Amino acid sequence: MLESILNFKEISKNPHLAFIWSFIITCVAIFISLQLSYEIHIGSGQIFSLTGIFSVVFTVIPLVYLMTYALKREEKIEEDEIRHHYTEKNILERHLYDILFFLFTFLGITMGYALFSFILPESVFQIQLLKISELQGSISGQLLIKNTSMFSEFFTGAITANPSAAFYTIFINNLKVLGFAFVFSLLYGCGAVFIIVWNASILGVYIGFLAENITHIPVVALSFLPHGLPEIGGYLFAGMAGGILSASLIRRHSMEITKKIFLDCLILLCVGVFLILAAAGIEAFL
């Protein structure tokens, strides 16, 4: 039912509605996860809560339907452009509204987690907090990146004394994530949804725990925007490129149409690389 609250045609015309919609489904997902209260009992009497990961799963479920629809729609736009030789809009203009839809969806999920991480006990989001703790580590002043999390550099808290080295480390890490987003979307259609939701949950939890009070949450969130927006955009472009190409291959178009769609997807992927390059530059040098 949650995936049917808003008509996709309506969201396509007003992408900002995706913020409200994703915020609502995130709140519902967290609330349901709290009712489940699954825990793992580890040795020495330690208890590990799975609420954080369940909240991610329940957020992903309604998103899959809408994002699959969006990617199929984007592939259809590409097909129509090729078949009818449209020239009114370039590739970025054609996909602008759906990129905004994905972006507002990410922001809505982030703010949902930020709100609940401020209100609820730390134990609820143990998994996210463990990941944040891991990402905050540093050795001898060097930027430590132990995985390919989308926002890994957000949580390290410090840039090395050598901005060029920091730029390289951040960019290479984010390039790996962009590759994962593309491949997951190519293989699973909307496979990047889990990556997006997981990282939105990490960022949201981090914002919630940084906030001094509930009204301070937007202020903290704004501090991530200068390098956060281009970085998010880069992953979204990569995910869209993989999803469009996946839908095209499933439809088994002629070689000519498939080739042109592939070239358009390559342009989207290159735009994504440029955006994460810009984000790394802002993070390291500004």
The count of domains in the chain is 1
Each residue of 84-143: pLDDT tens digit? Answer: 655 556 677 777 777 888 889 899 999 999 999 999 988 889 888 887 877 665 323 443
Confidence of residue 7 (pLDDT cuts 50, 70, 90): low
* Percentage of residues of the chain with pLDDT beyond 70: 74
* Residue 111, domain extent: 2-285
CB count in 10 Å sphere of residue 118: 20
User: Lowest mean pLDDT: which of 13-22, 146-155, 229-238?
Assistant: 146-155
Query: Does the pTM of the predicted model rise above 0.75?
Result: yes
Average pLDDT over residues 65-79: 69
Each residue of 152-190: pLDDT tens digit? Answer: 444 444 455 577 877 888 888 889 889 988 998 888 767
